[in-house]
């Protein structure tokens, strides 16, 4: 006997997507959440981070207003208003939280507040209450990884949990960011543009986005950050922090030797780890791998216990909200007895919302060559694009990696609105389109998208402006 068709454990993007989608298919759903529905993405991640990136963009735009023919009154210099930026961000988060709560209510999803865990009989127990589902989906998410011996005090040494929820009355003057991945790059971009003296310390040989994107696009971001004043150190080994009255001293070593840096705040952004310790996995016979991720069959998202599924950051797939959404659909379709279309993990959309934005889908040039493809690559810079000039955002390029006389294998962007321009290339990669299929289609003039069309046309050996 089941109380619900589906019990969902965790109310972040994986959980609420599963609940909403299942409810829209007519299933009765209970969703257990110990904090607020919306999870990391809404309250401590994607949404607040992008709101702060937007504040930085407005500041850049206003600072550069003169160049666009808009005069500020004489002697007036724009300055960042950190509390106001955070207040606006909080308003957006609250509005989305209200909207999501209302949507769950309208879909008649029972939201149970508390910490849930699986029990041996397959139910989910929450504070003594037992919720029995015909199926269960684990969506317990992830938390920031810490560096052993480095205490996160939430004030001088923080993770993105705090950086997205600052209640400080002003920006720190000096920040060290440890880890140049997605979070590190996005916050380095925010802080640098808001005038904070920002140092990025990355353990790997490339200082900015060392893993993931094609080097050609990551390098444009790296150069742009450097040009704007970010101090970037690759191959950096960070030592034990020293707390002084005037700030935190960060010792680090690179090929150039040992250095010390004093800052007001250290942001630790060295990755995230899955939350799977206290969810009753062992009692319920749900296998957890050696890194702490829930083991799933990626064709169905089912765990080692039939009827129990897992999606989102608690499984070892790209830690992206939209991947969690897609996995939730796969799991629910399987619960409904249908044949789900599995996520093609090598071709998901990736976006880094830095200035300039970086986005990609599919193989990098290096990956395509390693995979043995006869590769053809064409690039088109935004420098000659009319719309980019009008925006004053000409740093960047489109790069298309294709198989010779074959389909698009990878699509890479860096530049203005790369986050939005990506989706045309995402379709091309996933539909295995030929560059000519896209090149024959018309791109509006003037538009940033023209750079995509031009790059695709170049594969024919002819070109317009390229
Ligand atoms: P990440 O894995 O993207 O980057 C971590 C970086 O830290 C790596 O480059 C790694 O080499 C470096 N590193 C590890 N240990 C280090 C050390 N001791 N010293 C210096 N460098 C070290 O992780 P993240 O940036 O923390 O992001 C976590 C997750 O959040 C990722 O899964 C990411 O996909 C997701 N996220 C996505 C977005 C987005 O899609 N725009 C934004 C933010 C976060």
Q: Looking at ligand 1, which residue's alpha carbon is closest to its atom 3? A: 181
Helices 82-106, 13-24: axis angle to 10 degrees equals 30
Q: Catalogue the E-assigned strands of 216-362.
A: 231-233, 237-238, 242-244, 247-254, 257-263, 265-268, 272-274, 308-310, 350-352, 357-362
289-307 pLDDT, tens digit each: 999 999 999 999 999 999 9
Whole-number Å distance between alpha carbons of 149 and 4? 44
> Where residue 225 sits, what CATH number does that domain have?
3.50.50.60
275: nearest Cα among 39, 38, 113, 43: 39
Are 285 and 377 found together in one domain? no
Residue 465 domain-assigned (yes or no):
no
Residue 235 domain-assigned (yes or no):
yes
Please check the confidence at residue 447 and state whether its pLDDT lies above 90.
Answer: yes
Q: How many domains does the chain have?
A: 3
Are 139 and 161 found together in one domain? no
Please report which residue ranges of 312-412 form alpha helices under DSSP H: 321-335, 365-370, 386-391
Q: What distance in angstroms lies between residue 399's CA and the mean position of ligand 1's atoms? A: 24
Q: How large a percentage of the chain has pLDDT more than 70?
A: 99
Are 406 and 309 found together in one domain? no
> Among 45, 181, 317, which is best to mutate for testing ligand 1, by the most ligand atoms less than 8 A from CB?
181
> Where residue 417 sits, what CATH number does that domain have?
3.30.390.30
388-405 pLDDT, tens digit each: 999 999 999 999 999 999
Q: Looking at ligand 1, which residue's alpha carbon is closest to its atom 12? A: 179
Q: What distance in angstroms lies between residue 401's CA and the mean position of ligand 1's atoms? A: 25
> Among 221, 271, 354, 355, which is best to mutate for testing ligand 1, by the most ligand atoms less than 8 A from CB?
271
Q: What distance in angstroms lies between residue 416's CA and the mean position of ligand 1's atoms? A: 23
> Among 13, 179, 241, 292, which is best to mutate for testing ligand 1, by the most ligand atoms less than 8 A from CB?
179
Are 259 and 289 found together in one domain? no
Cα three-residue angle 416-417-422, rounded to 5 degrees: 120
Are 138 and 195 found together in one domain? no
223-245 pLDDT, tens digit each: 999 999 999 999 999 999 999 99
Q: Looking at ligand 1, which residue's alpha carbon is closest to its atom 39? A: 352
Boundary-marking domain end, from 303, 321, 345? 345
Residue 98 domain-assigned (yes or no):
yes
Are 166 and 124 found together in one domain? no
Boundary-marking domain end, from 322, 345, 368? 345
Residue 61 domain-assigned (yes or no):
yes
Greatest Cα pair distance, the chain, in angstroms, is 74
- 322: phi then psi, degrees, rounded to nearest 5: -70, -25
Q: What distance in angstroms lies between residue 146's CA and the mean position of ligand 1's atoms? A: 12
Are 24 and 137 found together in one domain? yes
Ligand 1 binding residues, C-beta < 6 A: 147, 178-184, 186, 201-204, 210-211, 238, 269-272, 319-320, 351-353
Instruction: For the chain, give the mean pLDDT.
Output: 97
Please check the confidence at residue 466 and state whether its pLDDT lies above 90.
Answer: no
In the sheet with 174-178, reading across from the earlier edge strand, the strands are: 157-158, 265-268, 174-178, 197-201, 231-233
Are 102 and 56 found together in one domain? yes
Q: Which atom of ligand 1 is nearest to the CA of 204?
A: 11
Q: Looking at ligand 1, which residue's alpha carbon is closest to its atom 14? A: 270
Residue 418 domain-assigned (yes or no):
yes
Residues classed as catalytic: 445
Are 216 and 294 found together in one domain? no
Residue 92 domain-assigned (yes or no):
yes
Whole-number Å distance between alpha carbons of 443 and 447? 7
The mean per-residue pLDDT over the stretch 259-287 comes to: 97
The DSSP secondary-structure symbol of 295 reads P
The mean per-residue pLDDT over the stretch 89-94 comes to: 98
Are 12 and 140 found together in one domain? yes
Range of the domain at 71: 2-144+273-345
The mean per-residue pLDDT over the stretch 337-356 comes to: 98
342: nearest Cα among 360, 361, 323: 323
Please check the confidence at residue 203 and state whether its pLDDT lies above 60.
Answer: yes
Q: How large a percentage of the chain has pLDDT more than 90?
A: 99
Q: Which atom of ligand 1 is nearest to the CA of 147?
A: 18
- 374: phi then psi, degrees, rounded to nearest 5: -80, 105
370-393 pLDDT, tens digit each: 999 999 999 999 999 999 999 999
Q: What distance in angstroms lies between residue 73's CA and the mean position of ligand 1's atoms? A: 42
What is residue 1's predicted lDDT score, i.e. its pLDDT? Answer: 52
Residue 151 domain-assigned (yes or no):
no
Q: Looking at ligand 1, which residue's alpha carbon is closest to its atom 30? A: 319
C-alpha Rg value of the chain to the nearest Å: 24
Check: CB of residue 159 under 8 Å from CB of residue 144: yes
324: nearest Cα among 333, 334, 311: 311
Are 231 and 215 found together in one domain? yes
98-155 pLDDT, tens digit each: 999 999 999 999 999 999 999 999 999 999 999 999 999 999 999 999 999 999 999 9
Boundary-marking domain end, from 290, 316, 345? 345
The mean per-residue pLDDT over the stretch 339-359 comes to: 98
Q: Looking at ligand 1, which residue's alpha carbon is closest to its atom 2? A: 271
- At 465, is the pLDDT very low, low, confident or very high (cuts 50, 70, 90)? confident
Q: What distance in angstroms lies between residue 145's CA and the mean position of ligand 1's atoms? A: 9
Residue 350 domain-assigned (yes or no):
no
Whole-number Å distance between alpha carbons of 114 and 312? 20
> Among 51, 270, 419, which is best to mutate for testing ligand 1, by the most ligand atoms less than 8 A from CB?
270
410-422 pLDDT, tens digit each: 999 999 999 999 9
Q: Which atom of ligand 1 is nearest to the CA of 350?
A: 40
Are 238 and 340 found together in one domain? no
Please check the confidence at residue 350 and state whether its pLDDT lies above 70.
Answer: yes
Q: Looking at ligand 1, which residue's alpha carbon is closest to its atom 4? A: 181
């Amino acid at each position: 006997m089941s109380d619900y068709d589906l019990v969902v454990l965790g109310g972040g993007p994986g959980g609420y997507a599963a609940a909403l989608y299942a409810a829209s298919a007519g299933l009765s759903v209970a969703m257990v959440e110990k904090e607020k529905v919306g999870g990391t993405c809404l309250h401590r991640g994607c949404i607040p981070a992008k709101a702060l990136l937007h504040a930085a963009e407005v500041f850049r735009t206003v600072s550069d207003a003169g160049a666009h023919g808009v005069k500020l009154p004489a002697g007036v210099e724009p300055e960042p208003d950190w509390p106001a930026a955070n207040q606006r961000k909080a308003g957006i988060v609250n509005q989305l939280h209200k909207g999501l709560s209302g949507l769950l209510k309208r879909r008649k999803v029972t939201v149970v507040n508390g910490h849930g865990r699986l029990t041996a009989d397959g139910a989910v127990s929450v504070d003594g209450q037992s919720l029995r589902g015909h199926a269960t989906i684990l969506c317990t998410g992830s938390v920031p990884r810490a560096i052993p011996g480095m205490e996160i005090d939430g004030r001088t040494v923080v993770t993105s949990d705090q950086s997205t929820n600052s209640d400080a009355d002003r920006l720190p003057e000096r920040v060290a960011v440890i880890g140049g991945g997605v979070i590190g790059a996005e916050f380095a971009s925010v802080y640098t543009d808001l005038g904070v003296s920002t140092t990025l310390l990355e353990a790997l040989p490339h200082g900015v986005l060392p893993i993931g994107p094609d080097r050609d696009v990551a390098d444009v971001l790296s150069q742009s950050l450097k040009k704007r004043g970010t101090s970037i150190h690759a191959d950096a080994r960070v030592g034990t922090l020293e707390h002084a009255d005037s700030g935190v001293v960060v010792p680090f070593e690179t090929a150039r030797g040992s250095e010390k840096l004093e800052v007001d705040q250290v942001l630790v952004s060295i990755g995230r780890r899955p939350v799977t310790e206290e969810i009753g996995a062992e009692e319920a016979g749900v296998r957890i791998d050696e890194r702490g991720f829930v083991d799933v069959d990626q064709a169905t998202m089912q765990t080692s216990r039939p009827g129990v599924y897992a999606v989102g950051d608690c499984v070892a797939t790209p830690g992206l909200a939209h991947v969690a959404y897609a996995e939730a659909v796969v799991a629910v379709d399987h619960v409904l007895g249908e044949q789900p279309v599995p996520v093609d993990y090598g071709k998901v959309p990736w976006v880094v919302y830095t200035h300039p934005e970086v986005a990609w889908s599919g193989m990098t040039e290096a990956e395509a060559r390693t995979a043995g493809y006869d590769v053809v690559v064409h690039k088109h810079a935004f420098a000659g694009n009319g719309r980019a000039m009008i925006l004053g955002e000409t740093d960047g390029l489109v790069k298309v990696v294709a198989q010779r006389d074959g389909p698009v294998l990878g699509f890479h962007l860096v530049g203005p609105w790369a986050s939005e321009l990506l989706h045309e290339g995402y379709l091309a990669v996933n539909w295995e389109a030929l560059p000519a299929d896209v090149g024959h289609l018309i791109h509006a003039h003037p538009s940033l998208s023209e750079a995509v069309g031009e790059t695709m046309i170049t594969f024919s050996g002819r070109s317009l402006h390229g």
